Amino acid sequence: MTSLTLRLGTRPSKLALAQAQWVKQAIEQRARDVRVELVPIRTTGDRLTRGALSPLGGKGLFVRELEQALRDGKVDLSVHSMKDLPAVLAPDFRIVAVSAREDVRDAIVTTSGADLDSLPLKARLGTSSLRRKFIALRMRPDLEVITLRGNVDSRLAKLEAGQFDAIILAVAGLKRMANVGGAGLDRLVAADHLGQKKISAGRLSITPLDEHRFVPAAGQGALALEALADKPVCASHEIEALLSDLNDSAASIETTAERSFLASIGASCVSPVGVCARFKHGVLAVKAILFNREGSKAVEAQICAFADRAGFDPSAVGRELGQQLLANGGWELLGDG
Protein backbone atom coordinates (compact mmCIF):
# COMPACT_ATOMS: atom_id res chain seq x y z
CA MET A 1 0.00 0.00 0.00
CA THR A 2 1.39 3.40 -0.94
CA SER A 3 1.63 6.00 1.82
CA LEU A 4 -1.54 8.08 2.25
CA THR A 5 -3.43 10.26 4.70
CA LEU A 6 -6.94 9.32 5.76
CA ARG A 7 -9.02 12.24 7.10
CA LEU A 8 -11.28 11.10 9.93
CA GLY A 9 -14.18 13.39 10.86
CA THR A 10 -15.19 13.59 14.50
CA ARG A 11 -17.12 15.78 16.87
CA PRO A 12 -14.78 18.00 18.96
CA SER A 13 -15.82 16.93 22.48
CA LYS A 14 -13.27 15.20 24.70
CA LEU A 15 -15.22 11.94 24.55
CA ALA A 16 -15.63 12.07 20.75
CA LEU A 17 -11.93 12.81 20.30
CA ALA A 18 -11.04 9.91 22.60
CA GLN A 19 -13.18 7.62 20.43
CA ALA A 20 -11.63 8.98 17.25
CA GLN A 21 -8.15 8.52 18.71
CA TRP A 22 -8.96 4.85 19.31
CA VAL A 23 -9.95 4.47 15.64
CA LYS A 24 -6.81 6.33 14.51
CA GLN A 25 -4.55 4.05 16.55
CA ALA A 26 -6.36 0.91 15.39
CA ILE A 27 -5.90 1.88 11.74
CA GLU A 28 -2.28 3.03 12.03
CA GLN A 29 -1.29 -0.10 13.95
CA ARG A 30 -2.62 -2.24 11.11
CA ALA A 31 -1.04 -0.17 8.32
CA ARG A 32 2.19 1.64 9.11
CA ASP A 33 2.07 3.60 5.84
CA VAL A 34 -1.35 5.11 6.56
CA ARG A 35 -1.53 8.32 8.57
CA VAL A 36 -4.89 9.22 10.08
CA GLU A 37 -5.63 12.93 10.49
CA LEU A 38 -8.40 13.82 12.94
CA VAL A 39 -10.71 16.54 11.61
CA PRO A 40 -12.88 17.98 14.43
CA ILE A 41 -16.26 19.21 13.16
CA ARG A 42 -18.65 21.02 15.45
CA THR A 43 -22.22 19.88 14.93
CA THR A 44 -25.51 21.63 15.58
CA GLY A 45 -25.99 19.39 18.62
CA ASP A 46 -22.66 20.57 20.02
CA ARG A 47 -23.69 24.20 19.67
CA LEU A 48 -27.11 23.72 21.29
CA THR A 49 -26.13 23.17 24.92
CA ARG A 50 -29.40 24.10 26.63
CA GLY A 51 -32.85 22.60 26.60
CA ALA A 52 -34.16 19.35 25.15
CA LEU A 53 -33.03 18.24 21.69
CA SER A 54 -36.30 16.49 20.82
CA PRO A 55 -38.15 19.59 19.49
CA LEU A 56 -35.11 20.44 17.34
CA GLY A 57 -34.54 17.10 15.65
CA GLY A 58 -33.00 14.89 18.32
CA LYS A 59 -29.74 13.02 18.00
CA GLY A 60 -29.55 13.57 14.24
CA LEU A 61 -28.24 17.00 15.17
CA PHE A 62 -24.91 15.33 16.05
CA VAL A 63 -24.56 13.79 12.58
CA ARG A 64 -25.54 16.31 9.88
CA GLU A 65 -22.34 18.33 9.65
CA LEU A 66 -20.17 15.21 9.67
CA GLU A 67 -22.18 13.75 6.80
CA GLN A 68 -22.01 17.02 4.89
CA ALA A 69 -18.22 16.99 5.28
CA LEU A 70 -18.21 13.54 3.65
CA ARG A 71 -20.35 14.84 0.78
CA ASP A 72 -18.07 17.85 0.32
CA GLY A 73 -14.92 15.72 0.31
CA LYS A 74 -13.53 17.41 3.44
CA VAL A 75 -13.16 14.06 5.20
CA ASP A 76 -12.80 10.48 3.96
CA LEU A 77 -14.47 8.79 6.89
CA SER A 78 -16.38 9.83 10.01
CA VAL A 79 -16.72 8.19 13.40
CA HIS A 80 -19.92 8.30 15.44
CA SER A 81 -21.33 6.86 18.60
CA MET A 82 -23.64 4.35 16.94
CA LYS A 83 -26.59 5.46 19.06
CA ASP A 84 -26.37 8.94 17.45
CA LEU A 85 -26.99 7.62 13.94
CA PRO A 86 -30.54 7.51 12.55
CA ALA A 87 -31.94 4.00 12.11
CA VAL A 88 -31.97 4.43 8.32
CA LEU A 89 -29.05 6.23 6.68
CA ALA A 90 -29.48 8.50 3.70
CA PRO A 91 -28.83 6.48 0.49
CA ASP A 92 -25.51 8.18 -0.19
CA PHE A 93 -23.94 6.82 3.04
CA ARG A 94 -22.96 3.43 4.42
CA ILE A 95 -21.57 1.99 7.63
CA VAL A 96 -18.08 0.65 6.86
CA ALA A 97 -17.36 -0.95 10.23
CA VAL A 98 -18.73 -1.33 13.75
CA SER A 99 -16.28 -1.43 16.65
CA ALA A 100 -16.19 -4.11 19.30
CA ARG A 101 -18.90 -3.08 21.74
CA GLU A 102 -18.19 -1.49 25.10
CA ASP A 103 -20.50 -2.00 28.09
CA VAL A 104 -24.03 -1.28 26.82
CA ARG A 105 -25.50 -0.27 30.17
CA ASP A 106 -26.58 3.07 31.57
CA ALA A 107 -25.41 4.08 35.05
CA ILE A 108 -26.66 6.22 37.92
CA VAL A 109 -23.93 8.63 39.01
CA THR A 110 -24.12 10.35 42.41
CA THR A 111 -21.86 11.97 44.98
CA SER A 112 -23.86 10.42 47.86
CA GLY A 113 -23.27 6.75 47.07
CA ALA A 114 -26.99 6.17 46.45
CA ASP A 115 -28.29 3.97 43.65
CA LEU A 116 -31.60 4.49 41.83
CA ASP A 117 -33.61 2.64 44.48
CA SER A 118 -32.04 4.45 47.44
CA LEU A 119 -32.15 8.04 46.15
CA PRO A 120 -34.07 10.29 48.56
CA LEU A 121 -37.74 11.04 47.95
CA LYS A 122 -38.24 13.55 45.11
CA ALA A 123 -34.54 13.52 44.26
CA ARG A 124 -33.43 15.65 41.30
CA LEU A 125 -32.35 13.39 38.43
CA GLY A 126 -30.59 14.84 35.39
CA THR A 127 -30.95 13.45 31.86
CA SER A 128 -31.81 14.72 28.39
CA SER A 129 -33.13 11.33 27.20
CA LEU A 130 -36.87 10.61 27.21
CA ARG A 131 -36.07 6.90 27.31
CA ARG A 132 -33.97 7.29 30.45
CA LYS A 133 -36.51 9.64 32.00
CA PHE A 134 -39.49 7.34 31.46
CA ILE A 135 -37.73 4.16 32.62
CA ALA A 136 -36.45 5.94 35.72
CA LEU A 137 -39.92 7.27 36.52
CA ARG A 138 -41.38 3.83 35.97
CA MET A 139 -39.09 2.57 38.71
CA ARG A 140 -39.22 5.74 40.87
CA PRO A 141 -42.36 7.83 40.11
CA ASP A 142 -41.46 10.37 42.80
CA LEU A 143 -38.28 11.60 41.12
CA GLU A 144 -37.99 15.13 39.72
CA VAL A 145 -36.40 14.64 36.30
CA ILE A 146 -34.62 17.75 34.99
CA THR A 147 -33.18 18.20 31.49
CA LEU A 148 -29.38 17.92 31.53
CA ARG A 149 -27.33 18.68 28.41
CA GLY A 150 -23.62 19.03 27.73
CA ASN A 151 -20.59 16.78 27.44
CA VAL A 152 -19.61 14.22 30.09
CA ASP A 153 -17.27 16.64 31.88
CA SER A 154 -19.86 19.40 32.16
CA ARG A 155 -22.59 17.01 33.31
CA LEU A 156 -20.38 15.60 36.04
CA ALA A 157 -19.37 19.13 37.06
CA LYS A 158 -23.04 20.08 37.50
CA LEU A 159 -23.59 16.98 39.61
CA GLU A 160 -20.59 17.78 41.83
CA ALA A 161 -21.79 21.38 42.15
CA GLY A 162 -25.00 20.10 43.72
CA GLN A 163 -27.39 20.99 40.90
CA PHE A 164 -28.58 17.36 40.80
CA ASP A 165 -28.84 14.49 43.26
CA ALA A 166 -28.06 12.01 40.48
CA ILE A 167 -27.50 11.89 36.74
CA ILE A 168 -27.68 9.07 34.20
CA LEU A 169 -24.81 8.46 31.78
CA ALA A 170 -23.71 5.61 29.53
CA VAL A 171 -21.14 3.31 31.11
CA ALA A 172 -19.29 3.18 27.76
CA GLY A 173 -18.77 6.94 27.76
CA LEU A 174 -17.54 6.92 31.35
CA LYS A 175 -15.05 4.17 30.59
CA ARG A 176 -13.75 5.88 27.46
CA MET A 177 -13.32 9.13 29.40
CA ALA A 178 -11.49 7.21 32.10
CA ASN A 179 -9.11 5.78 29.51
CA VAL A 180 -7.98 9.31 28.58
CA GLY A 181 -7.91 10.54 32.17
CA GLY A 182 -11.06 12.64 31.78
CA ALA A 183 -13.40 13.91 34.47
CA GLY A 184 -11.36 12.44 37.35
CA LEU A 185 -12.47 8.93 36.41
CA ASP A 186 -9.05 7.29 36.53
CA ARG A 187 -10.23 4.49 38.82
CA LEU A 188 -12.60 3.25 36.12
CA VAL A 189 -9.82 2.32 33.72
CA ALA A 190 -9.87 -1.35 34.71
CA ALA A 191 -12.79 -2.78 32.77
CA ASP A 192 -13.45 -5.50 35.35
CA HIS A 193 -14.40 -2.83 37.88
CA LEU A 194 -17.70 -2.46 36.07
CA GLY A 195 -18.65 -6.01 36.98
CA GLN A 196 -19.15 -4.68 40.48
CA LYS A 197 -22.50 -3.34 41.63
CA LYS A 198 -21.02 0.03 42.54
CA ILE A 199 -17.77 1.80 41.67
CA SER A 200 -16.14 4.75 43.42
CA ALA A 201 -14.13 7.29 41.43
CA GLY A 202 -13.04 10.22 43.54
CA ARG A 203 -16.21 11.85 44.87
CA LEU A 204 -18.36 9.99 42.37
CA SER A 205 -20.29 6.79 42.90
CA ILE A 206 -21.29 4.95 39.71
CA THR A 207 -23.91 2.20 39.72
CA PRO A 208 -24.51 0.38 36.41
CA LEU A 209 -28.19 -0.31 35.73
CA ASP A 210 -29.35 -3.78 34.75
CA GLU A 211 -29.89 -3.80 30.98
CA HIS A 212 -33.03 -5.95 31.31
CA ARG A 213 -34.76 -3.50 33.65
CA PHE A 214 -33.17 -0.34 32.21
CA VAL A 215 -33.12 -1.11 28.48
CA PRO A 216 -30.35 0.88 26.70
CA ALA A 217 -30.56 2.90 23.50
CA ALA A 218 -30.01 1.15 20.17
CA GLY A 219 -26.31 1.00 19.35
CA GLN A 220 -25.17 2.07 22.81
CA GLY A 221 -21.53 1.20 23.45
CA ALA A 222 -20.60 0.77 19.76
CA LEU A 223 -18.74 3.08 17.40
CA ALA A 224 -19.71 3.33 13.73
CA LEU A 225 -17.44 4.30 10.86
CA GLU A 226 -19.43 6.00 8.09
CA ALA A 227 -18.41 6.68 4.50
CA LEU A 228 -19.91 7.56 1.15
CA ALA A 229 -21.87 4.71 -0.40
CA ASP A 230 -20.77 5.06 -4.02
CA LYS A 231 -16.99 4.81 -3.81
CA PRO A 232 -14.23 3.18 -1.72
CA VAL A 233 -12.66 5.18 1.10
CA CYS A 234 -9.66 7.16 -0.20
CA ALA A 235 -10.37 5.53 -3.59
CA SER A 236 -8.48 2.53 -2.22
CA HIS A 237 -9.72 -1.05 -2.02
CA GLU A 238 -6.78 -1.74 0.31
CA ILE A 239 -8.17 0.83 2.77
CA GLU A 240 -11.59 -0.82 2.43
CA ALA A 241 -10.08 -4.17 3.42
CA LEU A 242 -8.24 -2.53 6.31
CA LEU A 243 -11.43 -0.94 7.63
CA SER A 244 -13.39 -4.16 7.31
CA ASP A 245 -10.79 -5.72 9.60
CA LEU A 246 -11.94 -3.27 12.30
CA ASN A 247 -15.49 -4.61 12.10
CA ASP A 248 -16.58 -6.72 15.07
CA SER A 249 -19.01 -9.38 13.87
CA ALA A 250 -20.95 -9.71 17.16
CA ALA A 251 -21.35 -5.95 17.52
CA SER A 252 -22.39 -5.68 13.88
CA ILE A 253 -25.04 -8.39 14.32
CA GLU A 254 -26.38 -6.80 17.52
CA THR A 255 -26.55 -3.25 16.21
CA THR A 256 -28.01 -4.38 12.88
CA ALA A 257 -30.88 -6.06 14.75
CA GLU A 258 -31.41 -3.02 16.99
CA ARG A 259 -31.43 -0.53 14.12
CA SER A 260 -33.69 -2.76 12.03
CA PHE A 261 -36.13 -2.86 14.95
CA LEU A 262 -36.16 0.96 15.16
CA ALA A 263 -36.74 1.27 11.42
CA SER A 264 -39.56 -1.30 11.49
CA ILE A 265 -41.58 0.68 14.03
CA GLY A 266 -40.82 4.02 12.42
CA ALA A 267 -38.90 5.28 15.46
CA SER A 268 -37.11 8.60 15.16
CA CYS A 269 -34.04 9.86 17.01
CA VAL A 270 -36.36 11.29 19.68
CA SER A 271 -38.72 8.32 20.15
CA PRO A 272 -38.82 7.09 23.78
CA VAL A 273 -37.66 3.58 22.93
CA GLY A 274 -34.97 1.22 24.17
CA VAL A 275 -33.69 -1.94 22.50
CA CYS A 276 -30.81 -4.21 23.44
CA ALA A 277 -29.50 -7.18 21.44
CA ARG A 278 -27.05 -9.74 22.77
CA PHE A 279 -25.32 -12.25 20.48
CA LYS A 280 -23.67 -15.06 22.44
CA HIS A 281 -22.95 -18.70 21.66
CA GLY A 282 -24.80 -18.48 18.35
CA VAL A 283 -27.98 -17.07 19.88
CA LEU A 284 -29.29 -13.56 19.20
CA ALA A 285 -31.58 -12.31 21.99
CA VAL A 286 -33.25 -8.91 21.64
CA LYS A 287 -35.45 -7.01 24.10
CA ALA A 288 -37.27 -3.73 23.47
CA ILE A 289 -39.47 -1.25 25.30
CA LEU A 290 -41.54 1.60 23.80
CA PHE A 291 -43.29 4.43 25.67
CA ASN A 292 -45.96 6.83 24.54
CA ARG A 293 -45.05 10.50 24.29
CA GLU A 294 -45.94 11.25 27.91
CA GLY A 295 -44.30 8.14 29.34
CA SER A 296 -47.55 7.03 30.95
CA LYS A 297 -47.83 3.77 28.95
CA ALA A 298 -45.29 1.23 27.76
CA VAL A 299 -45.14 -1.95 25.69
CA GLU A 300 -42.33 -4.52 25.87
CA ALA A 301 -41.33 -7.37 23.54
CA GLN A 302 -38.46 -9.82 23.16
CA ILE A 303 -37.25 -12.43 20.70
CA CYS A 304 -34.52 -15.06 20.26
CA ALA A 305 -33.00 -16.42 17.05
CA PHE A 306 -30.33 -19.06 16.36
CA ALA A 307 -27.48 -18.18 14.01
CA ASP A 308 -27.00 -21.77 12.85
CA ARG A 309 -30.45 -21.93 11.31
CA ALA A 310 -30.86 -21.38 7.58
CA GLY A 311 -31.74 -17.85 6.64
CA PHE A 312 -30.44 -16.24 9.84
CA ASP A 313 -30.55 -12.49 9.28
CA PRO A 314 -30.23 -10.00 12.16
CA SER A 315 -32.19 -7.43 10.15
CA ALA A 316 -35.10 -9.86 9.84
CA VAL A 317 -34.92 -10.58 13.58
CA GLY A 318 -35.17 -6.87 14.32
CA ARG A 319 -38.12 -6.47 11.96
CA GLU A 320 -39.92 -9.42 13.52
CA LEU A 321 -39.45 -7.95 16.98
CA GLY A 322 -40.83 -4.64 15.73
CA GLN A 323 -43.90 -6.33 14.27
CA GLN A 324 -44.42 -8.19 17.55
CA LEU A 325 -44.18 -4.99 19.59
CA LEU A 326 -46.57 -3.12 17.29
CA ALA A 327 -49.07 -5.98 17.44
CA ASN A 328 -48.89 -5.93 21.24
CA GLY A 329 -50.06 -2.32 21.42
CA GLY A 330 -47.14 -0.35 20.02
CA TRP A 331 -49.26 1.19 17.24
CA GLU A 332 -51.44 2.87 19.85
CA LEU A 333 -48.43 4.21 21.76
CA LEU A 334 -46.82 5.66 18.64
CA GLY A 335 -50.02 7.58 17.92
CA ASP A 336 -50.81 8.43 21.54
CA GLY A 337 -50.65 12.06 22.55
Residues 94, 133 contacting (CB under 8 angstroms)? no
pTM for the structure as a whole? 0.90
Grouping H, G, I as helix, E, B as strand and the rest as coil, residue 195 is: helix
Sheet strands (E) in 246-337: 273-280, 283-291, 298-306
- Domains along the sequence of the chain with CATH: 4-100+222-247 (3.40.190.10), 106-208 (3.40.190.10), 252-335 (3.30.160.40)
C-alpha–C-alpha distance, residues 51 and 55, integer Å = 9
Task: For residue 269, indicate whether it is catalytic.
Answer: yes
Task: For residue 132, indicate whether it is catalytic.
Answer: yes
Task: For residue 131, indicate whether it is catalytic.
Answer: yes
Whether the predicted pLDDT of 196 surpasses 80: no
Task: For residue 234, indicate whether it is catalytic.
Answer: no
Banded model confidence at residue 179, pLDDT cuts 50, 70, 90: low
Per residue in 138-164, pLDDT (tens digit) is: 999 999 999 998 888 889 999 999 999
Task: For residue 230, indicate whether it is catalytic.
Answer: no
Please report the sign of the dihedral spanned by the C-alpha atoms of residue 205, residue 208, residue 213, residue 217.
positive
Whether the predicted pLDDT of 273 surpasses 90: yes
C-alpha–C-alpha distance, residues 291 and 272, integer Å = 6
Over residues 280-304, the mean pLDDT reads 96
Catalytic residue from among 46, 84, 106, 115: 84
Per residue in 251-271, pLDDT (tens digit) is: 999 999 999 999 999 987 678
Whether the predicted pLDDT of 38 surpasses 90: yes
Percent of the chain surpassing pLDDT 90 = 71
